[in-house]
């Protein structure tokens, strides 16, 4: 339903809650915050409409919200990975089930990883798993335009290898 809850550890009672713009499937990443007043730790997560959130861990106050992908079926299912001052966000989609509908102009989504400044939510860079932009290919038997290349969604959390300065998805 899009709610994220903070529970009182000793009682299990709700301490605070926040309703995201859409459902939330990601695990929540936690990390220290600098430059946000009294906020010491932030919670980072994504929703099913490709929004990424940073909340004050103690109060649930929204620190920032960033939309990372304009494709209408984009979503975030893997936990954003916090490393140093960056949040690495995996972007997936729900285009796969839509491709079964002959009227759907499949497929135009490309998976990506977005690097955000963890303090502000500002996009630092974005890289697609398929570099080529989808283009029209042919029409199916109903006359629906088909597109390619597409796919390579990133469904899980990235892995950071600090020794080799690499990010694995």
Q: What is the pLDDT of residues 85-110, one digit of tens each?
A: 999 999 999 998 888 899 999 999 99
The label of the residue with tokens 């899980």 reads 156
Percent of the chain predicted with pLDDT > 70? 99
81 pLDDT tier (thresholds 50, 70, 90):
very high
Nearest-angstrom CA–CA distance, 142 and 104: 10
Question: Tell me, what's the pLDDT at 107?
Answer: 95
Nearest-angstrom CA–CA distance, 52 and 27: 12
Range 125-141 average pLDDT: 97
Percent of the chain predicted with pLDDT > 90? 92
Nearest-angstrom CA–CA distance, 168 and 153: 13
Cβ neighbours for 99, distance < 8 A, ≥ 6 positions apart: 106, 107
Question: Tell me, what's the pLDDT at 39?
Answer: 81
Report whether the peptide linkage leading into residue 55 is cis, meaning its omega lies within 30 degrees of zero.
Answer: no
Question: Tell me, what's the pLDDT at 150?
Answer: 95
Question: Tell me, what's the pLDDT at 86?
Answer: 96
144 pLDDT tier (thresholds 50, 70, 90):
very high
Q: pLDDT for 10-59, tens place per residue?
A: 999 999 999 999 999 999 999 998 876 788 999 999 999 999 999 999 99
Residues paired with residue 136 on neighbouring β-strands, in sequence order: 147
Question: Tell me, what's the pLDDT at 168?
Answer: 97
Say whether pTM exceeds 0.75.
yes
Q: 1: which 2 tokens? A: 């339903």
Question: Tell me, what's the pLDDT at 33?
Answer: 87
The label of the residue with tokens 């997936």 reads 92
């Amino acid at each position: 339903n899009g709610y994220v809850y903070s529970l009182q550890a000793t009682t299990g009672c709700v301490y605070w809650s926040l309703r995201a713009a859409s459902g939330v499937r990601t695990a929540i990443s936690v990390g220290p915050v600098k430059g946000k007043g009294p906020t010491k730790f932030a919670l980072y997560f994504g929703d099913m409409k490709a929004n990424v959130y940073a909340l004050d861990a103690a109060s649930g106050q929204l620190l920032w919200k960033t939309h990372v992908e304009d494709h209408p079926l984009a979503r975030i299912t893997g936990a954003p990975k916090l490393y140093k001052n960056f949040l690495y966000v995996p972007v997936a989609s729900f285009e796969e089930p839509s491709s079964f509908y002959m009227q759907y102009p499949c497929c135009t989504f490309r998976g990506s990883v977005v690097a955000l400044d963890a303090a502000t939510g500002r996009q630092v860079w974005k890289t697609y798993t398929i570099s080529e932009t989808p283009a029209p290919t042919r029409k199916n038997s109903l006359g629906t335009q088909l597109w390619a290349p597409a796919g390579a969604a990133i469904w899980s959390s990235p892995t950071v290898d600090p020794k080799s300065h690499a990010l694995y998805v």
